[in-house]
Amino acid sequence: MSGSPPAEGPARRSVIELVGITRTYPGPSPVHALRPTDLTVGAGEYCTVVGPSGSGKSTLLNLLGLLDRPSEGTYLLDGVDTARLPEKLRTALRGRRIGFVFQSFHLLPYRTATDNVALAHLYDAVPRRQRRQAAREALARVGLGHRLDALPTTLSGGERQRVAIARALVHHPSLLLCDEPTGNLDSATAAQVLDLFDLLHGEGMTLLVITHDAHTAARGQRTLTIRDGVLTETRPVASAHG
C-alpha cells in the first residue's frame, strides 16, 4: 500500500516514508503483525488510521514512533534513515521530531499544568526558566493560557488532554502521533479536542491519529485502514474533511 501527497501545488517534503516495512514476531508460529507496507505522509498532512482490535494498529504506532524496529524495510523520518541509527540516536530523534498523545493523559496529579508540560524538557539541559516559558507558550497554544497553575485533579477530561497535547507540542515536533486521543472523552469534549487538531493542522502540523471511532477518523484528510497487518487507503486526499 502506498499513499502520497496531492499532486497539485508545489511538492512538499515527506515527514513519514515507509518502504517495504514489515514486522514479524518470531515464535513456533511467527506472527506477521505488519505485512509489507509503503506509505508516504507529507509535511502538514492529517492522516487517520482505523482497524479492528488485533489488526496491527499498535504495531504501526510503535514503528512510526521509533518505539520498535521493523523486521524488514526502510523508515525515513524527516528524511533520516532510522534503521541505520543506534538506539541512543533513535531516542534523541524521537524526542526531537515526534510528539505523542495517548488515550490516557499520563499527567502527574500533584504538579501544575505548567510543571507537567515543562517535564518534557527535563532531560534536555534546558534552563528551568526556559522550560517553564516554553510550557506556558504550549499551554496557550492549546487554549489553556488561563489554567497554567491548575492541578490535573481540578481539570476536566478535555482540559487534561489539552495539557497532554501541549506537552507533546513543547518540542515543536515534525509529527504529532496520536493513539485513541478521544477514547476517554465524552462526545462533546472529544469534538473540542478534534477542533484543536483541526487548528494545529491549519497551522501546518503533521498529524497521524490512530482511532477506532469513525467520526474521529473522518476528521482527517486521509483515512487508512489496517486489517490483518495490511494497510490500505480508504479515503484519499481528494475527499478530505472540510
Summarize pLDDT for 16-28 with one digit per residue, the tens. Answer: 999 999 999 998 9
**Per-residue pLDDT at 8:** 45
Question: What is the C-alpha separation between 35 and 126, in angstroms, rounded?
Answer: 41
3-state secondary structure 168-182: HHCCCCCEEEEECCC
**Per-residue pLDDT at 152:** 96
Strands 46-50 and 222-227: parallel
**Per-residue pLDDT at 6:** 44
Of the options 3.40.50.720, 3.10.20.30, 3.40.50.300, 3.30.365.10, the CATH number for the domain spanning 44-66+96-239:
3.40.50.300
Summarize pLDDT for 205-235 with one digit per residue, the tens. Answer: 999 999 988 889 999 999 999 999 999 987 6
Q: Angle, nearest 10°, between helix axes 157-169 and 128-141?
A: 130
Quick one: average pLDDT of 77-91?
Answer: 92
Domain residue ranges of the chain, discontinuous segments joined by +: 44-66+96-239
Catalogue the E-assigned strands of 115-191.
175-179
**Per-residue pLDDT at 120:** 87
Summarize pLDDT for 159-202 with one digit per residue, the tens. Answer: 999 999 999 999 999 999 999 999 989 999 999 999 999 999 99
Summarize pLDDT for 29-55 with one digit per residue, the tens. Answer: 899 999 999 999 999 999 999 998 889
Sequence-distant (6+) residues with CB within 8 A of 17 are 39, 40, 41, 74, 75, 76, 79
Q: Which grid cell sits at 142?
A: 492549546
**Per-residue pLDDT at 11:** 61
204 CB burial (10 A radius; 0-12, 13-18, 19+): exposed
Sequence-distant (6+) residues with CB within 8 A of 115 are 108, 135
Q: pTM (2 decimals)? A: 0.89
Q: What angle do CA 138, 149, 121 make, to 5 degrees?
A: 45
